[in-house]
Amino acid sequence: MKLFKTFILFTFCILTTATLAQPQGPPPPKFKITFSNNNPQTGDIIEVIFKADIPAGIHMYSTYNKCDVGPLKFEVKFKQNDGFCTQGAPFSLGDKHIIDDIFNCEVGEFFNKAEIHQKIKILGNELKIEANIEGQWCSETACFNFGGNITPLKVSALLKAFGTPTLCDDKSIKPIETFVVDTVPKEIIVIDTTQTDTDKNCTNCSYKVTDASDNAKCQVKTFNGQSSETEKESYWGLFIIAFLSGLAGLLTPCVFPMIPMTISFFMKDEKSRRRSIINGLFFGLSIVLIYVILGVIVSAIFGEKAGNFLATHWLPNILFFIVFLVFAFSFFGAFEIMLPSWLVNKVDRQADKGGYYGIFFMALTLAIVSFSCTGPIVSSVLVGSANGQFERPILAMLGFGLAFALPFSLFAIFPSMLNRLPKSGGWLNSVKVVFGFLELALAFKFLSIVDLTRHWHILDREIYLSLWIVIFGLMGVYLLGKIKFSHDSDLKFLKVPRLLFAVATLSFVMYLIPGLWGAPLKGLAGYLPPMSSQDFDINRSIREANGLVGNICKKPSYSESLHVPLGLNGYFDYDEAIACGKELKKPVFLDFTGHGCVNCRKMEEKVWSDPKVYKILSEEYVIASLYVDDHDVKLKEGEQFTGRYSGANVTMLGDKNSEIQLCYFKGLSQPLYCLLDGNENLLHLPVDTKVYKNYFDKEEFYKFLEAGLAEFKKRNKK
């Protein structure tokens, strides 16, 4: 085996060498060199960023390489001088780590685009970069080395002597002017150094396209060499909710009675106990597979980009409102939602064929027959999961399917447990009616999103609360047996579990009632319309009487339609906020938010309202509440632009805010909180990244704001 591997390695090296000798290889990569901070100070640590486009069918090796003997990784070696010193080794962003089939070790590879960063510390007022680049990229049939010198790339400051240069281990901070590229090298590797003074002609520092010849890509903001690109949210919460929804689907009249019936089918042959267990387990796995396939279909139809559209646009939310309304009435017994009988009969005939093929179609028959009860629950899970990530609907259906299949596999292994199941009866129909009340309440959540994004002011907070008070009040009265639907059984007496559910429901109603007079109802933060939509709010009346607090330079645009939370003063336009921050010499607090954002309302009502957080926000920051899901407010005449990220013509305020978030932070999740200085540079990593995962913690969020303020003061100290 060792001899064979040696032969493979030797052959690969010979073929690679022979291929490199041929002149018909792909042209060397064209690298573009930029900097993470175009206005650093002496002593700052910034990044030199190398970017290149990779042709289709080609992959380039990154700086990541765990091989003793293997392909040539990307290397950049700097010649040290008095202007800077390197900090650590170069590192790659966006590379994929795979096991190389030939060398049997882990390597990093770039596809489509390559991006390598090298941290350096600024030592003086003149910076001259000299370096050597080496690397390798490969097609399906051959590999090619590239390399060359970057000499001289002189990047000097407009000298205004601010003291003496610093050293690598000297932590003193001294100002330095903006980088200006003086010369362009002409080496084997073509270096594109189009980036110049940010204040004069920066072609890729803005979220706007400047002219027809501007084809630069968005530059994600960084802080101390770390990218601010937002992380995808954790999948555990979605999985748990989907799993619990699957368990709830079992407690419906369409499904619960079928559990002992179906398991009895697998236990008919007492002599083949082992075979019955295997069939029962395969039946459960088939149920999981069916629901996962449904998740794949939803992901393929909606995809990643449509998630934000589904969550915020008026059309899908109106459709969701109607669907939930129809399902609620179905649960109340107004009508039955059933799939066509020809489909059920056709699938049932396939189940009669026996074997694993028949078992799979038996599982499909169960899914179809139970649709009238599980359909609303499955729809709720899918709607909640389709919010911008391809994997979410698949994961949601995996959780739902596992819970739904659990009793079938469990009882197949332990058939004696069937005797412990409660008998079917009227209680199952009561569960179905309770689901109907819940579906009805959730339907108004979708209608509320439409009302907020379109500024109709039909379903303001007090109207929404009134509807929920009536819905859950009726649900409590129903649980007490005072309301009866046509398909309900007679309730001769009230059992203790039902009484406890009734008490909990009516207590929830009592909790809602003070909200009609402005009580914050923090336990439901995010699930109710914002406080700003309520006509009568005692706390807001007191704040307005004392005058709004917050830093503004002029009346904010679009303030007739939009509001900053908790009665704070602030802006709704990014450029206005940045301009005011420069004028007042204060940092800018960017609040990427949305009308339909649940976590945004939780943050505002649970964290922003904390006295310490409220004080530092109102006194030390210029606030910008940037609504990304607003589809009604148009940009002022003359402010429309072409977005650098999307390439589309941007005419709406919500689209502008989305463009900024995608371009600068490469994500569209809300809330996202970012702290910027007057030059639009980050003062801290946003709270939606690796630093503060638990940003619902008041103390952690206050530390985040304090750290940004300290960094701002440090940069402005001379």
Q: What percent of the chain has pLDDT over 70?
A: 68
Host H or E run for residue 34:
strand 31-35
- Kindly report which listed range (57-66, 159-168, 540-549, 564-573) carries the lowest average pLDDT score: 159-168
CA-to-CA dists, residue 697 to 107, 237, 687, 693, 700, angstroms: 39, 18, 11, 9, 5
Beta-bridge partner residues of 455: none
Higher pLDDT, 303 or 59: 59
Q: Once rounded to an integer, what is the mean pLDDT over residues 38-49? A: 76
pLDDT at 193 over 50: no
Rounded to an integer, what distance in angstroms lies between the CA atom of residue 90 and that of residue 94?
Answer: 14
Angle of CA points 557, 563, 564, to nearest 5°? 100
Residue given tokens 């409102």 in the structure block: 321
The predicted model gives 72-98 an average pLDDT of 81
- Tell me the HSE value of 333 on the side-chain side, using a 13 A CA sphere: 13
Pairing of strands 226-227, 622-627: unpaired
CA separation for the pair 713, 316 (Å, rounded): 46
Residue 479's pLDDT band (boundaries 50, 70, 90)? very high
| For residues 542-552, average pLDDT | 65
Lowest mean pLDDT among 419-433, 450-464, 552-566: 419-433
Identify the pLDDT of residue 586.
Answer: 94
- The per-residue pLDDT for range 149-184, each reduced to its tens digit, is 655 454 544 323 333 455 565 443 333 333 333 333
Question: CA angle, corner 688, sides to 309 and 555, nearest 5?
Answer: 75
Cβ–Cβ under 8 Å, residues 266 and 383: no
- CA 183 – CA 194 distance, rounded (Å): 11
The residue that leads in pLDDT, 707 or 415, is 707
Euclidean distance between CA atoms 221 and 590, whole angstroms: 13
pLDDT of residue 233: 53
- Name 49's bridge partners: 34, 117
- Pairwise pLDDT comparison (679 vs 588), residue with the higher score: 588
Q: How confident is the model at residue 575 (pLDDT cuts 50, 70, 90)?
A: very high
Mean of pLDDT values over 288-317:
68
- Class of CATH domain 26-202: mainly beta
- The DSSP code for 682 is B
From CA 216, how far away is CA 210, in angstroms rounded? Answer: 10
Number of H helices, E strands in the chain: 20, 21
| R_g (Cα) of the chain, nearest Å | 31
Confidence of residue 22 (pLDDT cuts 50, 70, 90): very low
**φ, ψ of residue 634 in degrees (nearest 5):** -95, 150
Q: What gap in Å lies between CA 442 and CA 220, rounded to an integer?
A: 37
Which secondary structure element, helix H or strand E, spans residue 575, and what is its range?
helix 574-584
> Crossing angle, helix 371-385 and helix 273-302, to 10 degrees?
50
Task: Count Cα neighbours of 295 within 13 Å in the Cβ-side half-sphere.
Answer: 26
At 645, is the pLDDT very low, low, confident or very high (cuts 50, 70, 90)? confident
566: left (phi over 0), alpha (psi -120 to 50) or beta: left
pLDDT at 624: 95
Between the CA of residue 306 and those of 301, 303, 629, what are the distances in Å? 9, 6, 13
Task: Give the Cα separation of 252 and 245 in Å (integer).
Answer: 12
Read off the pLDDT band of 256 (50, 70, 90).
low
pLDDT tier for residue 347 given thresholds of 50, 70 and 90: low
Distance CA(718)–CA(672), nearest Å, equals: 31
Report yes or no: 678 and 622 within 8 Å, Cβ to Cβ: no
The CA distances from residue 252 to 40, 189, 210, 404, in Å, are 64, 67, 59, 12
Three-state DSSP class for 588? strand
**pLDDT of 241 higher than 60:** yes
With the C-alpha atoms ordered 637, 643, 649, 654, is the resulting torsion angle positive or negative?
Answer: negative
Categorize the per-residue pLDDT at 11 as very low, low, confident or very high, splitting at 50, 70 and 90.
very low
Residue 21 has a pLDDT of 41
CA–CA dist 572, 627 (Å, integer): 7
In angstroms, the Cα distances linking 701 to 76, 624, 697 are 39, 17, 6
Domain borders along the chain are: 26-202, 251-422, 549-716
Alpha carbon distance, N-terminus to C-terminus of the chain: 66
Helix (H) / strand (E) element for 601: namely helix 598-603
Q: Which has more confidence, 130 or 430?
A: 430
Query: Would you state the torsion angle of the CA atoms of residues 471, 476, 480, 486, taken in this order, to the nearest 10 degrees?
Result: 20
SS3 label, residue 64: strand
Task: Identify the sign of the CA torsion 347, 351, 357, 361.
Answer: positive
Instruction: Give helix 355-369 / helix 341-351 axis angle, nearest 10°.
Output: 150
- The CA distance from 89 to 76, in Å, is 9
Split at pLDDT 50, 70, 90, the class of 651 is very high
Residue with the larger pLDDT of the pair 185 and 512:
512
More confidently predicted of 304 and 527: 527
- The CATH fold assigned to 549-716 is Glutaredoxin (3.40.30)
pLDDT digits (tens, 9 = 90+) for 595-613: 878 788 888 888 998 999 9
Phi then psi for residue 144, to 5 deg, are -135, 130
Q: Kindly report the average pLDDT of the chain as a whole number.
A: 75
Query: With bands split at pLDDT 50, 70 and 90, how would you rate the model's confidence at 200?
Result: very low
User: Average pLDDT, stretch 681-700?
Assistant: 72
Band (572; pLDDT cuts 50, 70, 90): very high
Q: Which residue has better confidence, 385 or 398?
A: 398
pLDDT at 489: 77
User: Does the pLDDT value for residue 187 go beyond 60?
Assistant: no
**536 or 632, which is more confident:** 632
pLDDT (0 to 100) of residue 191: 40
Q: Can you give the length of the chain in residues? A: 718
Using the predicted structure, report yes or no on whether residue 672 has a pLDDT greater than 80: yes
Beta-bridge partners for 634: 652
Q: Residues 27-39: what's their mean pLDDT?
A: 73
Q: Are 258 and 404 in contact (CB under 8 A)?
A: no
Instruction: Label residue 470 by pLDDT band (50, 70, 90).
Output: very high
